Amino acid sequence: MSTTAKTEVDNGTPPELENLLELDSYLKPYKDEIKRRYKEFMLQVDRINVEENGIDTFTSAYTHYGIHLDSRTNEIKVKEWAPGARAVYIRGDFNQWQEKQYPLSRDQWSKWTITIPPLADGSPAIKHGQAVKLLIETPSGELVDRLSPWSRYVQVGKNTNVYHGVFYNPPVDQVYKFKNTRPKKKDRLKIYEAHIGISSWKGEVATYENFRVNVLPRIVKQGYNTIQLMAIMEHAYYASFGYQVTSFFAASSRFGTPEELKALIDEAHGLGLTVLLDLVHSHACKNTYDGLNMFDGTNGCFFHGSPRGFHDLWDSRCFNYTEREVLRFLLSNIRYWLEEFKFDGFRYDGVSSMLYHSHGIAHGFSGSYDEYFGLATDTESFNYLQLANYVSQTLYPESISIAEEVSGMPTLCRPIAEGGGGFDYRLAMAIPDVWIKLLKEKTDEDWQVSDITWTLANRRWSEKNIAYAESHDQALVGDKSIAQWLFDAEIYTNMSVFTDRTPIIDRGIALHKMIRFLTYGLGGEGWLNFEGNEFGHPEWLDFPRAGNDDSYHYARRLFYLTEDETLRYKFLNAWDQAMNSLEEKYQWLSAKNTYISRTHQGDKVVVFERGNNGLLFVFNFHTSQSFTDYRIGCGQLGNYKIVLSSDAKSFDGHDRIDMNQVFTAEDYEIDGRPYSFRVYTPCRAAFVLALVDDAK
């Protein structure tokens, strides 16, 4: 360890702390707590460096923990950590499931190992594809079957819902060889949040191959540059949406093989797409036979053995982030997905739940900094997240991390060197709640445009957000997507271009475009859309379960609706594509300057500028009032032209805006802007103007 690093550990001062305090002076009273957290983080790094030969070695555990073939000798080597077990055995198809033929030996650190020699013909004792399990003798003497926590492939058994381990060691000619290089780290993420299994119009579990062939081209055509893949880590219960993980190192076998997932990611890279994994390290499924729970026969092992180890709301287990072997397991898991599958980063699930001893349950965050730096905060979890980001950033500097975090904890998305959590972004989780609340509880006339824009713009300075109007949460059965709230039953009956446009359809088409565009334009430094929402998918998402007779009817996405020229879904799809195209040209997501010049409640008009190229957004949410010669302010002199209009016929608008008109700014101050000009603002429409030189 360097002298500088040693000094940092000794005094607990992040080397760039002053930069953090300069950005937010309200953090100064909590300086000592920030230093304490950082010191604990550095002590963990120091221990790993000294006692584990460094992060590189420590996070390579997946290469020798679990069940592996030594290709030089054809020996099978098994290594597991099970501190509570009285004995450990391995059995499976290879030995006709005999119980105690192959006992493992225990060392002083509760590591259990065995080397199984090759067969007489020189071939490995365990063959690729054979079922295999560990047999654990618990502290009470009971013999129980368990899956290796490090299993790379698991499959559900015949006539059962329980998964068994599969020895995954395909022949060399079947191992996928990557062809494409990773894309460079993007600073303007346009994320397509997707689930492999529902990515088909058929009532089935769709595959990695289907997604690679049929969905990737669609994502590229729509103008997204990033994919966020959900439910990849194996989960026994399909309807959990992948959030009750049972096997952390296994790509879900219900969608195909690990090699097919690698092919998907490689092709995405070839198309210029960044691929993020929805990573669940906040908790684990409480299954015992095919999960981590009670692995060694105790409540502890990977989890806190006390009530702290149970998440009551999610009915799951909570990791013990202070245990060295748990850190080895989880940090190696991060490395595994980055290295073996070439994911480009992660969206960390459930970060708010990790950060607070209450898991955020019934915790209404007031915004007081005392809530973030007091006893309510689980700083052991915060230190784990620092370590997780440190591993990614050290081994893969181009990797990206996004926190699903609702409390707004300061410093979470600041560099670790400042004492921050090290995340690149957090999800702007308050935004969809506002839209759904408005659609559910308020009439259009009661929408407060200043409140809407305040929510969209209310984020911590210098901590980047991913904005979204809705995600998978709003698409699930029991909730409603924005399209379902807007169109109601008419989403099934009146979306044909040959039927008269009813008031509900007219309003729905207009507001669907405006809600998404205002969120995209003002809400963050990145944008996220859940698959299907871009065209107003008419059905909610409901996985097969006992409550719906195990039906797959709603566990699908009807992409073909956008190709049907007789349906209005094509217009919403085209608008989504146009928004992405406009952002790609003007790059407002990376802009540092945003100025909201008008939020007029009576007119229901919102005007704001974003970026350095004169980009000017105008929204009129009024239900019926259009305005002629409406003066709007701007920050630059010059000629302006409309570059995108939601009212255009190509987006099923009323075509009330002249796209060829040029507007000349004059030296007339309004709304705090030095210049202004007059425009026509039709009701329930949005448009964007740019300086003519930029509009060509």
Q: In the 3-class helix/strand/coil scheme, how is 177-234 assigned residue by residue?
A: CCCCCCCCCCCCCEEEEEEHHHCCCCCCCCCHHHHHHHHHHHHHHHCCCEEEEECCEE
Per the document, the length of the chain is 696
Instruction: Kindly list the distances between the CA atom of residue 359 and the CA atoms of 318, 363, 383, 384, in Å, as whole numbers in the listed order.
Output: 10, 8, 16, 15
CA 157-158-164 angle, to 5 degrees, is 10
Q: Which of 40, 290, 349, 539 is catalytic?
A: 349
Contacts 24+ apart (CB under 8 A), 676-679: 676/631, 676/632, 676/633, 676/634, 677/631, 677/632, 677/634, 677/640, 678/629, 678/630, 678/631, 678/632, 679/618, 679/629, 679/630, 679/632
Asked if 52 is an active-site residue, the reply is: no
Are 457 and 449 in contact by the 8 Å Cβ rule? The answer is no
One DSSP character per residue, 231-290 reads S-EE-S-GGGTT-S-SEEEEE-GGG--HHHHHHHHHHHHHTT-EEEEEE--S-EE--SSS
Structure tokens at 347: 């969206």
Structure tokens at 80: 């597991």
Pick the closest to residue 447 from 206, 620, 244 (CA basis): 620
Distance CA 123, CA 117 (A): 9
Are 269 and 183 in contact by the 8 Å Cβ rule? The answer is yes
Instruction: Kindly list the distances between the CA atom of residue 609 and the CA atoms of 458, 599, 633, 675, in Å, as whole numbers in the listed order.
Output: 16, 13, 9, 12
Are 569 and 214 in contact by the 8 Å Cβ rule? The answer is no
Are 588 and 522 in contact by the 8 Å Cβ rule? The answer is no
Pick the closest to residue 76 from 133, 146, 124 (CA basis): 124
Give 111's contacts (C-beta < 8 A, 6+ positions apart): 79, 80, 81
Amino acid (one-letter) located at 540: W
Distance CA 34, CA 420 (A): 8
Residue with tokens 């507007």: 663
Q: Which of 325, 404, 525, 539 is catalytic?
A: 404
Are 261 and 232 in contact by the 8 Å Cβ rule? The answer is yes
Q: State the Cα torsion 29-31-32-35 to the nearest 10°.
A: 170
Instruction: Kindly list the distances between the CA atom of residue 278 and the CA atoms of 1, 157, 227, 359, 488, in Å, as whole numbers in the listed order.
Output: 33, 26, 10, 19, 31
Distance CA 346, CA 427 (A): 12
End-to-end CA distance of the chain: 56
Are 428 and 468 in contact by the 8 Å Cβ rule? The answer is yes
Distance CA 65, CA 266 (A): 26
Asked if 312 is an active-site residue, the reply is: no
Query: Residue 596 has what DSSP assignment?
Result: E
Q: Indicate which residues carry an active-site annotation.
A: 349, 404
